[in-house]
Amino acid sequence: MPSAETVRDLAIAALDEHKGIDIQSIDVRSQTDITDYLVIASGNSDRQLRALADAVLEKARAAGVRPLGKEGLAGGDWMLVDLGDVVVHLLRPETRDFYQLERLWGELPRVRGQKEDTH
């Protein structure tokens, strides 16, 4: 089973490859036992959100990660892919602006991937 950091990085890579917008990763290990990282990205249409979710699921399965769940894939402005140690939120920009998930988690470390520094 890949590490949480490896799963985070593969999710980010899948989102990058499929033109996810404003990809952010938040280390939530100090705040919750439910997951280690939240990955948040935007897409400009329902179709792009579905493509991003499919790309994350495909890359995760190829790495031997069994997704625990997915929500909102039938349509909507917010989709979620639960990879266990990593939960990926995919939102339309206006929905992301409204809910401001990044602000809900306060000043926790933000990381883009293993090779980048926290912000």
CATH code for the domain in which residue 88 is found: 3.30.460.10
Average pLDDT for the chain:
88
Q: What is the mean pLDDT of residues 96-116?
A: 69
Question: Is residue 93 a part of any domain in this protein?
Answer: yes
Does 51 have pLDDT greater than 70? yes
Question: Is residue 118 a part of any domain in this protein?
Answer: no
Q: What is the mean pLDDT of residues 17-40?
A: 93
pLDDT for 117 equals 40
Which percentage of the chain shows pLDDT scores above 90? Answer: 73
Question: Is residue 37 a part of any domain in this protein?
Answer: yes
Q: How many domains does the chain have?
A: 1
- Per the structure, the complete domain to which residue 18 belongs is given by 4-104
pLDDT for 116 equals 44
Q: Which residues neighbour 6 within 8 Å (Cβ) at sequence distance 6 or greater?
A: 63
pLDDT range class, residue 112, cuts 50, 70, 90: low
Question: Is residue 24 a part of any domain in this protein?
Answer: yes
